[in-house]
Structure 1
Amino acid sequence: MSITAQLRDSVRLPGGGALVNGFAFESRGDGSGRALLRNGHELEVHDLRELFAGERAPTAVFPLPWPRWEHGVHSVSPDGTFAVFSGQRAVRAMGKGGETLWEYRHGCWGPELGHPHTGDEQEVCRGLEHGSCRISDDGRLVWAHVVAEPEPGGWEERWVVLDARNGRELARLPLESAAAGSHHLSHPDGVHMGLSIGMGQDGVLLHWARRDGGELTGWDVNEGLDRILADVHAGHPGFLTVDHYGADLQLHALDGTVIAEQEPESADDEDEDETYWDYACGFVDADTVIASTVDSDEEPEDARHWLLDAHTLRIRGVVAYPTGPVDSYVRPLGDGTWLTYDDKSETLNRWTRSAPGTS
């Protein structure tokens, strides 16, 4: 079945591809979304609603504390007054004026244990490994995935919770991981935080945690799993994951119990090539999931986006775009719309389903 898409908004946004193929999109519990885009030595913040309404200027601009450090997943406070950066050897909070508000030092993500540093804070050590951070939706806490050296020559990855006012460590959880990278996902309930840790060919680890008072309670859902944490939605009790190699999508309860599962389908009955899901997928709204099989299609004109039932993951149909095939990843916004990006024109497009009876 074919489901026709309707173009809602379109805006030229250089670098906007990181919104659909990366971690530049930051959603909030109130349903809003922001773009956190690196531009030279600065991090530009765009409110998506304002951007599509015609406001081209960023709502906030933060200088990068380590301009030569190109990794890590950063976060901006709900009111846009400060940003927290995940660096190679520290987590740092900065104001819009460029002032350092606080810094939480940690071990070096560089893969060589015990390697020396010159003392220059702008030094970037060998390796692509990195952590991530996320400011809570109430702006009070900072969750960060860091590495520590509990003893000389030792190595331990940790999940820490910091006071957003001063960077003081409030709680920590040791992690049994060897990360290539990670990202956080804030649950819209304002209580739970998810952490997805990619370890390259060694797979993916997935953790959830909550902080009740001064206590941090965490649990992993890694038993027999190798799954990427994809999305959550305020109107849905579970969370969505995709298999590390795209074999299936799964819907889980918060404790990790699998509620539904769906393998990919080919839009062409005669296509004998293996089809697999991309990692980019999520909730269009509380009842609908969108997922893509762009990477498994060798030709751009064969790229496919699919709409699924958010409760059963049953495939409803393939998306038909009025402009022709769209070979972009997708970023659902949870409000009934989703984003794609055209690399050639540097255009960010926002789509929705056409009303019944229209074409």
Structure 2
Amino acid sequence: MSINARLRDSVPLPGGNTLVNGFAFESRTGGARRALLRKGHVLEVFDLDELFAGARAPQTVLPLPWPGWDRGVHSMSPDGSFVVFSGQRAVRAVGAGGETLWEYRHGCWGPELGHPHSGDEQEVCRGSEHGSCRVSDDGRYVWAHVVTGEGEDDWQECWVVLDAGDGRELARLPLDSVTSGSHHVSHPDGIHMGLSIGMGQDGILLHWARWDGERLTSWDLNENMDRILIDVHPGHAGYLTVEHYGSDLELHALDGDVLAVAEPEAGESGDRPCWDYGCGFVDAGTVIVSLPDDEEFPGTAGHRLLDARTLKERGRLSYPAGVHATGEVRPLGDGTWLTYDDATGILNRWSAPAG
């Protein structure tokens, strides 16, 4: 079945590709939806709704604390008053006016244990490994994936909860990981936080946790170490993961139980293509998934809509002629989703026809 996608909005946004195939998009439950885009030595923050309404200037522009550091996943407070940057050797909170509010120092993400530093905070050590951070939806806490220690005897990756007001460490969870990179996913209940840790060929680690102000409770969901945390149901009905290499999509309860599975349709040879990592909840009843261009499976590339409860396919999306809308997607949870045209620098917002 073919489903005609309806173009709702279009806006030029240079660098906006990281909204659909990276971690520049940040959504708050019942609040702002923002694009955090790195542009040279600054971070530009756009309110997505204001952008589509015609406001072309960024909401906030902040100098990057470490201009040579182009890794890490950063986060803005719900009220827009500060940004927390995930650096190579520190997590730093910066006010909307560019002033440093606090800094939480940690070990170096550089892959060589015990390597020396010059003492210059702007020094960037070799390696692409990085952590991530996320301000809680109530603005009270910062969750951060960091390294503690420097040498073989004390080096440890940890998940920490920090006080958003002053950067004090409130809780720490040691992790059994050797990270390439990570990202957080905030649960819409405002209580739970998810952490997805990529370890390259060694697999994926997935953790959920909650902090009640006194106790950190965590769930280790890593029996197979091969699932990437993608999105959380807007109505709290579960979360989505994609297998490390895209072989299947799973819907889980918060405790990790698998509620539904979707595999791409097999080709003539009986083999199956692989899902892209860009997928998620269009709304409470609908999931969108994408298939990349693949010479082995010609004609399969594109986007599909699935039932959010069963992950059964509803149909393949058809886009207007002349509009480039392939590749990964970013669902917004309100019935719409984003695509990006790299050739034109245009960010498009779409919806399915009513009914």
The two structures share one fold, judged by TM-score above 0.5: yes
CA contact (8 A) 2:31 2:78 kept: no
Q: Deviation at 1:271?
A: 7.6
2:12 is the alignment partner of 1:12: yes
Matched ranges for 1:304-315 at <5 A: 304-315=302-313
CA contact (8 A) 1:301 1:327 kept: no
Structure 2: which amino acid aligns with 1:84? V
**Aligned Cα root-mean-square deviation (Å):** 1.8
Identify the residue that residue 355 of structure 1 maps to in structure 2. Answer: 354
Could you say if the C-alpha distance between residues 348 and 301 of structure 1 is closer, same or farther in structure 2, counting changes exceeding 3 Å? farther
Identify the residue that residue 260 of structure 2 maps to in structure 1. Answer: 260
Deviations 1:253-286 (Å, cap 9, x if unpaired)? 00000000010126xx658774110111100000
Identify the residue that residue 280 of structure 2 maps to in structure 1. Answer: 282
Distance 1:103 1:18 in 2: 26
Distance 2:91 2:6 in 1: 41
Distance 1:16 1:301 in 2: 27
Deviates more, 1:137-146 or 1:325-334: 325-334
CA contact (8 A) 2:183 2:196 kept: yes
Could you say if the C-alpha distance between residues 224 and 299 of structure 1 is closer, same or farther in structure 2, counting changes exceeding 3 Å? closer
CA contact (8 A) 1:31 1:334 kept: no
Deviations 1:19-65 (Å, cap 9, x if unpaired)? 00100000111154110001111111111111000011111111100
Deviations 1:308-342 (Å, cap 9, x if unpaired)? 00000011111111136632310000000000000
Identify the residue that residue 336 of structure 1 maps to in structure 2. Answer: 335
CA contact (8 A) 1:136 1:143 kept: yes
Distance 2:339 2:256 in 1: 30
Distance 1:143 1:221 in 2: 18
User: Normalising by structure 2, what TM-score?
Assistant: 0.96
Q: Deviation at 1:288?
A: 0.3
Deviates more, 1:96-105 or 1:29-38: 29-38
Matched ranges for 1:1-359 at <5 A: 1-30=1-30, 32-149=32-149, 153-265=153-265, 270=268, 274-296=272-294, 303-323=301-321, 326-356=325-355
Could you say if the C-alpha distance between residues 152 and 226 of structure 1 is closer, same or farther in structure 2, counting changes exceeding 3 Å? closer
CA contact (8 A) 1:113 1:153 kept: no
CA contact (8 A) 1:278 1:295 kept: no
Q: What secondary structure, in the 3-state scheme, does the structure 2 residue paired with 1:16 have?
A: coil
Q: What secondary structure, in the 3-state scheme, does the structure 1 residue paired with 2:14 have?
A: coil
Segments of 4+ moved more than 6 angstroms: 298-301
Q: Deviation at 1:302?
A: 5.1
Structure 2: which amino acid aligns with 1:164? A
CA contact (8 A) 1:90 1:105 kept: yes
Structure 2: which amino acid aligns with 1:217? T
Structure 2: which amino acid aligns with 1:287? G
Distance 2:306 2:222 in 1: 25
Of all paired residues, the percent bearing the same amino acid is 71
Structure 2: which amino acid aligns with 1:54? G
Q: What secondary structure, in the 3-state scheme, does the structure 1 residue paired with 2:65 have?
A: coil
Deviations 1:132-174 (Å, cap 9, x if unpaired)? 0000011110000001118664311000000000000000100
Structure 1: which amino acid aligns with 2:333? G
Could you say if the C-alpha distance between residues 69 and 298 of structure 1 is closer, same or farther in structure 2, counting changes exceeding 3 Å? farther
Structure 2: which amino acid aligns with 1:16? G
CA contact (8 A) 2:113 2:152 kept: no
Deviates more, 1:257-266 or 1:45-54: 257-266
Could you say if the C-alpha distance between residues 49 and 300 of structure 1 is closer, same or farther in structure 2, counting changes exceeding 3 Å? farther
Distance 1:203 1:225 in 2: 5
Could you say if the C-alpha distance between residues 54 and 261 of structure 1 is closer, same or farther in structure 2, counting changes exceeding 3 Å? same
Deviates more, 1:301-310 or 1:291-300: 291-300
Q: Number of residue pairs matched?
A: 354
Deviates more, 1:299-308 or 1:82-91: 299-308
Q: Unmatched 5+ residue regions in structure 2?
A: none
User: Normalising by structure 1, what TM-score?
Assistant: 0.95
Distance 1:327 1:310 in 2: 22
Q: Unmatched 5+ residue regions in structure 1?
A: none
